[in-house]
């Protein structure tokens, strides 16, 4: 089997402009084997040039390697040049837009960041590279702190070890949030223009970019420590921290010291940055087994809680002792943590007086727990549901707190308009320290939440596919024949968000409301070949909520099986 002619020609054109000797050698070998009749090599080559890794509201993200469907120096150079052209077009020919660039500890992150700085500077923009590998929230902070027109973060966050990615933020009227339409499409047009008309080797470069001063990191540390200074009850708090082989610890340690919290017991095998992620197959705290070492450390140290950041420290996971769980510890769901943090934010607004509540908003993605709406109503605050992603959550008018169930929390919108796992960790430690001062634990705080607002329970069904057309077929089937009931409960209403609503832009989302107050939201994943269904119930007690949730899970699973 030989590679398709188009793939072979594309590979040769790629080789002519690839500045990376590693990916050039990789592609030369693959092309030689494919043209010698190696069927696996031919298929691999066809896959690498089957299209182009799309630039969208999540920027770029994909597996490292040679080819237009992989993350590499060619694709990143084209992205940097396209972004530069977009920014120059937006600001006018006489301006020199400023772009701040950060990078984490993944393979090639520093290389991609440096390439971007050189290409942006060569195009006439002012590029500022952060001084070393740092968490994503520091980059998001720096965009606002430096008054930059845009920011780039080179990271694949919690993706598998062989991935990398390229996030873009906008300053000015966008306040340092990630890009949303139409900016993503406009940037993508410029990237494609560069790819179609210029070789990467011909793009002007300059090493005259700036390196940000350490004072930028210090300002982030000070602002984040101020989120939740240690209460008296935090003294003696025993807790465990893991960076999951990412870049969170150095910055988090400085914030903890500044905020006055006791030092944690760290998971030694996971505390230093390591792009190979040797102790986890998937460096995402949500994945089964990812927090096993942290829980082992917690048992050995008799800790009160566990805090985990994902590799770029924009997400937070919290673990608590639970005698009913395997191993005696469990991870709180993203919704449980989000509701605790939302309650904390609402109380803080209430303490400032009635006037503060008039324009304060709690926000979450439409697949996150509706419990946040109950908190907002209890305190007379605004509530906003958005499409998934902090690019939307961060733009909620009057936002004082936002979260999504995938372990993302925005607790300090005045300084960081993105999820921030370090500031969220400080907020959780404040809650835990305050509870400890009253002789309580986070388990007690969760029970108090249920007693105050009702018991909310959530679950998720995730279907991973090899062929993404299966996902489209399931969504089409759901739209063509929506269910009249799920299990024994009638479906009272269905919202198809394909065309958007007065509050939401269009999205490939189906939301079903049930007669007992439960809710099901079905959508394709934005970053992986998965279909996801999010289940939410509310009841008087936790036991009743768990029972309803189990029945709903069985009914939705059966429905998706028939459609798939």
Q: For 455-563, CATH number?
A: 3.30.310.50
Q: Which CATH architecture has domain 213-450?
A: 3-Layer(aba) Sandwich (3.40)
CATH 3.30.310.50-classified regions of the chain: 455-563
What is each CA distance from 469 to 61, 474, 513, in whole angstroms?
A: 20, 9, 26
Out of 157, 177, 368, 369, the active site residue is 157
Q: How far apart are CA 457 and CA 460, in angstroms?
A: 11
CATH 3.40.120.10-classified regions of the chain: 56-212, 213-450
Residue 324 appears among annotated catalytic residues: no
Q: Are 78 and 115 in contact (CB under 8 A)?
A: no
Three-point CA angle 110, 112, 114, nearest 5°: 65
pLDDT in tens, the chain (564 residues): 566 678 999 999 999 999 999 999 999 999 999 999 999 999 999 999 999 999 988 899 999 999 999 999 999 999 999 999 999 999 876 789 999 999 999 999 999 999 999 999 999 999 999 999 999 999 999 999 999 999 999 999 999 999 999 999 999 999 999 999 999 999 999 999 999 999 999 999 999 999 999 999 999 999 999 999 999 999 999 999 999 999 999 999 999 999 999 999 999 999 999 999 999 989 999 999 999 999 999 999 999 999 999 999 999 999 999 999 999 999 999 999 999 999 999 999 999 986 667 789 999 999 999 999 999 999 999 999 999 999 999 999 999 999 999 999 999 999 999 999 999 999 999 999 999 999 999 999 999 999 999 999 999 999 988 888 899 999 999 999 999 999 999 999 999 999 888 778 888 999 999 999 999 999 998 767 889 999 999 999 999 999 999 999 999 999 999 887
pLDDT (tens digit, 9 = 90+) per residue, 216-231?
999 999 999 999 999 9
Q: Please name the residues in contact with 363: beta carbons below 8 A apart, sequence gap of 6 or more.
A: 372, 383, 384, 385, 386, 393, 396, 399, 401, 402
Helix residue ranges per DSSP H, 92-213: 109-122, 136-145, 183-197
Q: Please name the residues in contact with 176: beta carbons below 8 A apart, sequence gap of 6 or more.
A: 140, 141, 143, 144, 151, 169, 170, 416, 417, 418
Q: For 56-212, CATH number?
A: 3.40.120.10
Phi (first) and psi of residue 492, to 5 degrees: -90, -15
Tokens read off for 440: 């309580």
Residue with tokens 């993503």: 184
pLDDT (tens digit, 9 = 90+) per residue, 127-144?
999 999 999 999 999 999
Q: How far apart are CA 115 and CA 117, in angstroms?
A: 6
Residue with tokens 């959508």: 523
Q: Are 100 and 128 in contact (CB under 8 A)?
A: yes
Q: How far apart are CA 541 and CA 220, in angstroms?
A: 41
Beta bridge partners of 169: 151, 178
- Work out the number of other CB atoms within 10 angstroms of the CB of residue 276: 10
* Claim: this prediction has a pTM higher than 0.85: yes
Q: How far apart are CA 354 and CA 373, in angstroms?
A: 18
Q: How far apart are CA 516 and CA 418, in angstroms?
A: 34
């Amino acid at each position: 089997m030989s590679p398709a002619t188009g793939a072979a020609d594309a590979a040769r054109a790629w080789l002519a402009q690839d500045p990376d000797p590693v990916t050039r050698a990789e592609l030369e070998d693959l092309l030689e084997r494919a043209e010698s009749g190696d069927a696996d090599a031919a298929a691999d080559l066809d896959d690498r040039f089957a299209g182009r890794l799309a630039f969208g509201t999540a920027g770029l993200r994909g597996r490292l390697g040679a080819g237009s469907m992989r993350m590499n120096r060619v694709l990143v150079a084209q992205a940097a040049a396209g972004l530069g052209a977009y920014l120059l077009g937006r600001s006018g020919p006489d301006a020199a837009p400023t772009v701040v660039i950060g990078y984490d500890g993944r393979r090639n992150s520093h290389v991609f960041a440096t390439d971007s700085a050189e290409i942006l500077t060569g195009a006439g923009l002012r590029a500022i590279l952060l001084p070393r590998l740092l968490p994503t929230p520091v980059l998001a902070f720096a965009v606002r702190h430096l008054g930059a027109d845009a920011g780039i973060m080179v990271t694949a966050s919690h993706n598998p070890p062989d991935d990398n990615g390229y996030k873009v933020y906008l300053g000015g009227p966008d306040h340092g949030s990630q890009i949303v339409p139409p900016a993503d499409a406009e940037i993508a047009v410029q990237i494609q223009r560069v790819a179609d008309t210029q070789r990467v080797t011909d793009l002007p470069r300059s090493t005259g970019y700036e390196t940000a001063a350490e004072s930028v990191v210090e300002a982030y540390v000070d602002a984040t420590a101020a989120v939740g200074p240690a209460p008296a009850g935090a003294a003696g708090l025993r807790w465990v921290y893991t960076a999951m082989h990412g870049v969170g610890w150095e910055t988090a340690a400085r914030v903890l010291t500044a905020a006055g919290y006791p030092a944690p017991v760290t998971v030694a095998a996971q505390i230093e940055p390591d792009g190979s992620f040797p102790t986890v197959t998937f460096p995402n705290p949500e994945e089964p087994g990812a927090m096993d070492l942290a829980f082992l450390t917690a048992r050995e140290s008799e800790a009160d809680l566990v805090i985990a950041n994902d590799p770029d420290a924009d997400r937070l996971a919290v673990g608590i002792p639970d005698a009913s769980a395997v191993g005696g510890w469990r991870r709180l769901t993203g919704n449980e943590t989000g509701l605790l943090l939302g309650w904390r934010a609402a109380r803080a607004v209430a303490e400032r007086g009635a006037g503060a509540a008039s324009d304060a908003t709690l926000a979450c993605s439409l697949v996150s727990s509706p419990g946040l709406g109950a908190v907002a109503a209890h305190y007379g605050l605004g509530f906003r549901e958005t499409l998934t992603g902090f690019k939307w959550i961060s733009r909620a008018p009057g936002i004082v707190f936002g979260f999504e169930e995938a372990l993302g929390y925005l607790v300090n919108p005045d300084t960081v308009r993105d999820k921030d796992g370090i500031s969220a960790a400080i907020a959780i430690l404040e809650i835990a320290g305050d509870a400890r001062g009253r002789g309580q634990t986070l388990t007690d705080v969760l029970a108090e939440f249920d007693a105050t607002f009702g018991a909310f329970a959530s679950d998720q069904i995730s279907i991973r596919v090899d062929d993404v057309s299966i996902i489209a077929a399931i969504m089409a089937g759901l739209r063509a024949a929506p269910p009249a009931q799920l299990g024994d409960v009638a479906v009272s209403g269905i919202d198809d968000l394909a065309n958007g609503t007065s509050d939401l832009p269009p999205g490939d989302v189906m939301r079903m409301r049930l007669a007992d107050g439960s809710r099901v939201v079905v959508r394709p994943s934005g970053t992986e070949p998965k279909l996801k269904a999010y289940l939410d119930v509310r009841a008087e007690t936790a036991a009743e909520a768990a029972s309803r949730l189990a029945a709903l899970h069985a009914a939705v699973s059966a429905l998706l099986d028939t459609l798939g």
